[in-house]
Structure 1
Amino acid sequence: MKTVDRATRPVRLTPLDLLALGLIGLRTRKVRAVLSALGIAIGIATIVVVTGIPASSQRNLMAELSALGTDVLQVSPAPSGTGEAVALPAQAPAMVARIGPVRQVAAVANTHTPLRRSDQSAEGDGAGLAVLAGSPDLLPVLRARMHSGSFLDATAAKLPMIVLGSATATRLGIPDLRPGEPPPQVLVGRQWFTVRGILAPVPLSPDLDVAAIIGWESAATYLHFDRRPTVIYVRTYEPAIEQVRSVLQATVDPANPGQVRVSLPSDALAAKRATANTFSALFLGLAVVALLVGGVGVANTMVISVLERRPEIGLRRALGASRGQIRGQFLTESVVLSLLGGFAGTLIGAAATAGYAAWLGWPVVIPASAALAGLGGAALIGVVAGVYPSMQAARLPPAQALAS
């Protein structure tokens, strides 16, 4: 009797055998398999994209901050409760420059003078554009660049010459300065100023993009400027930035230190980029929904597969296949189907992330954790989606399955 039991005992299937059996349904129903795996692929691709793009953006931000420097402090007056224009003491930049770890100091001041393209344009055409008096060290302190032309040197700072911010130049219809051509002029108050240069966008101080800069001495001569700055930029040694920050208020205005505000422009830039990435959570939620939909699709495909392949199940049971082997076959098919969708989704998501990052000039960063989590999630969905159909297939009596 024991000999008979051993002879009729089902053969144990190896993992390769289960894989071969699981691929039968996928090879014979290719279109259905592709459509079922599509939902999984979309979900995994979305997960890779919504983690890869912020990671690439973060890497680019770190490189950008390293290039611009995280050692710049911005000093400005605290908001006035009366709404009146407030400025810092005229001697404040010189006093700040005396602080030991401070390397460079630059200042700008709002002259509150209207800016127009010409005397024929309407009074309100320059609304929102500020005319600032600026010190010669402004560009190196902010590590700003010129789009065209040149900045104000010691001589030009005394003459009626002006440098336009990037947005200001576009607004006034002066997108570029061409060598060999007469430089354009703009009207500042009632005084004509010659455009000497156009700034490239300034990440550490976006206010300069919608401004025009004239020399400190020029502002005093032509616009009756009182030499009181409204913003001071301080570049210091990075290890000592907190110590410098702690003494800036009292140094700038010893009589009213509470009326002075000190901030890190690099922190504002980082916060802006973080705010731009807040939609990642929303898309991650959409990715989870897509995975759930894909899982339902896989489960539906497996249920239909069991119904269509009853004769095959009955024949295998009649030839000695155990219920466990039938369960393993259909569970393997479900997992393989989900993993194929997961691999396809990972490749699609990586390609989309790389394309988007390359388009924006960012370094391509695809977190390995996101890809592994996506594939693990796909395998888990395959197991969950395949449990019921595989149990349903294993419960079919051989005679009933063959009769169908």
Structure 2
Amino acid sequence: MSRLGPRDLLDVGLVGIRTRKLRAALSALGISIGIATMLVVTGIPASSQADLLRTLSALGTNTLQAIPVPDRNPPVTLPEDAPAMVARIGPVLTASAVANTHSVIRRNDRTDPADGLGLTVLAGKANLLTTVNGRVRTGRFLDATSETLPMVVLGSVAAARLGLAGLPVGGAGPQVRIGDQWFTVIGILDSVPLSPDLDRAALIGWDAARRLVRFDGHPTVIYLQAREDQIEAVSAVLPATIDPQKPSNVQVTRPSDALAAKRATQTSFSALFLALAAMALLVGGIGVANTMVIAVLERRSEIGLRRALGAHRGQIRAQFITESVALSAMGGIAGTLLGVAATTAYAWWRAWPLVIPVDAALAGLAGALLTGAVAGAYPAMRAARLMPTEALS
């Protein structure tokens, strides 16, 4: 029995597409719209999700704080080396600390020595700003040099209460009085959403606080960022790491509510993607199946002639399945390009990060081919069952 090689089978399978170009284009258009819809309904929500997750991440989904348990008698203090110990925990990305120096800050030496304007003077580490996702509005933050000198960085509320709207460009900054020492203001922070207490604080270097305001070296708040998938594990070991002798003296904030919201968002979006993608492929498959059934009815004489000339049923089935798969492949490629273009344009318009789900695009193409094979199966079997005399009549 004669066999059709792959190339001959492809030529025969594309006959219907070449001879009925308009119908083939309309059939491919049906499945291309389905695939484009799948990419759009996955790509646009994925881009929106990326923007939402970026916003949630900025709220500190991977951040923890540790403080001494309040209202203990005598008051609890954290060990001096606690920040360094926390930084050694495997999943921890960065750790920093602040400490209340119990000093008073004043605009000058003529104001009431007891009037600190409700502001707190904190000793801070140089990596504090990175750890709490803070930003400097004007000037600069503490560094290795300024940590040892009488320099101060003000929170946004602290700067407003001290009457400092900004810093001079290129000149020496204003000075404020902390305790009995003058400090030069080198920076003003933007509001810090992760730690609003820093908005009402004046931050001085750790070493400068020890030397100039009689700071005892014990941190009062430890901040850390850890890998998000390990945040609960880090929270569990944090008290024993900070104070191995008395872990019950350490209070750790639970992971941010934003983390739970972020995980719930990821789950709900994933379920939505799957449902919409399945619906789009179903619609495209029905369109291809309908086209192939009509093609069999219209090409009965062609089928009969091929059978009369010696084509067996398997070759007839292969011809129509090849045509169906080719139609679906054309639609899948066109739909993928159309979906990517539409998603890119919409993400650019909304200023979202562009996310093209590669797995969705590949799954769409594979699904288009599978849909074409399934959609063409019944018409192909129906065509193969036609007897030559019946088809030619």
Q: Spell out the pairing of 1:79-228 with structure 2 (5 A cutoff).
A: 89=75, 91-92=77-78, 94=80, 96-97=82-83, 99=85, 105-107=96-98, 134-137=122-125, 138-139=128-129, 141-142=131-132, 144-151=134-141, 155=150, 157=152, 162-164=154-156, 197-199=188-190, 206-208=193-195, 212-215=199-202
**Which residue in the other structure is 2:365 paired with?**
375
Structure 2: distance between partners of 1:374 and 1:104: 44
Structure 2: distance between partners of 1:319 and 1:100: 83
Letter in 2 for 1:307: L
Cα distance change, pair 385–133 in 1 and its aligned pair in 2 (3 A): farther
| Contact 2:86-2:242 at 8 Å conserved across structures | no
Runs (5+) with no aligned partner, structure 1: 1-8, 112-129, 170-175, 184-193, 218-226
The answer to whether the aligner puts 1:260 opposite 2:243 as a matched pair is no
The answer to whether the aligner puts 1:42 opposite 2:36 as a matched pair is yes
**Which residue in the other structure is 2:320 paired with?**
330
Letter in 2 for 1:332: T
SS of corresponding position for 1:328: helix
**Which residue in the other structure is 2:178 paired with?**
none
Q: Spell out the pairing of 1:20-99 with structure 2 (5 A cutoff).
A: 20-27=11-18, 28=20, 29-42=23-36, 45=39, 49=43, 74-76=65-67, 89=75, 91-92=77-78, 94=80, 96-97=82-83, 99=85
Letter in 2 for 1:386: G
**Which residue in the other structure is 2:112 paired with?**
none
Q: Deviations over 1:151-187 (max 9, x none)?
A: 4766454xxx74239xx99xxxxxx968659x9xxxx
Give how far 1:340 is off.
Answer: 2.1
**Which residue in the other structure is 1:173 paired with?**
none
Cα distance change, pair 135–244 in 1 and its aligned pair in 2 (3 A): farther
| Contact 1:295-1:381 at 8 Å conserved across structures | yes
Letter in 1 for 2:199: A
Give how far 1:324 is off.
Answer: 2.2
Structure 2: distance between partners of 1:258 and 1:136: 22
Cα distance change, pair 145–15 in 1 and its aligned pair in 2 (3 A): same
TM-score, reference length from structure 2: 0.60
TM-score, reference length from structure 1: 0.58
| Contact 1:335-1:382 at 8 Å conserved across structures | yes
**Which residue in the other structure is 1:245 paired with?**
238
1:397 aligns with one of 384, 387, 390: 387
Give how far 1:211 is off.
Answer: 6.4
Structure 2: distance between partners of 1:76 and 1:310: 83
SS of corresponding position for 2:80: helix
Structure 2: distance between partners of 1:312 and 1:374: 33
Cα distance change, pair 140–386 in 1 and its aligned pair in 2 (3 A): closer
Cα distance change, pair 156–285 in 1 and its aligned pair in 2 (3 A): same
Q: Deviations over 1:306-331 (max 9, x none)?
A: 12222322333333332222211111
**Which residue in the other structure is 2:330 paired with?**
340
| Contact 2:47-2:352 at 8 Å conserved across structures | no
SS of corresponding position for 2:194: helix
Give how far 1:287 is off.
Answer: 0.3
2:266 aligns with one of 277, 281, 285: 277
Letter in 1 for 2:82: V
Give how far 1:214 is off.
Answer: 1.9
Structure 2: distance between partners of 1:340 and 1:108: 66
Count of residues paired in the alignment: 322
Runs (5+) with no aligned partner, structure 2: 89-93, 103-117, 160-164, 174-184, 205-216
Structure 2: distance between partners of 1:259 and 1:100: 13
Structure 2: distance between partners of 1:210 and 1:307: 77
Cα distance change, pair 139–325 in 1 and its aligned pair in 2 (3 A): same
| Contact 1:50-1:284 at 8 Å conserved across structures | no
Cα distance change, pair 90–107 in 1 and its aligned pair in 2 (3 A): farther
Structure 1: distance between partners of 2:373 and 2:43: 25
Q: Deviations over 1:324-371 (max 9, x none)?
A: 222111111111112223333444555667775996567x7865x555
Letter in 2 for 1:41: I
Structure 2: distance between partners of 1:300 and 1:91: 77
Give how far 1:303 is off.
Answer: 0.7
Letter in 1 for 2:156: L
Give how far 1:141 is off.
Answer: 4.5
Structure 2: distance between partners of 1:360 and 1:274: 20
Structure 1: distance between partners of 2:273 and 2:251: 41
Give how far 1:40 is off.
Answer: 4.5
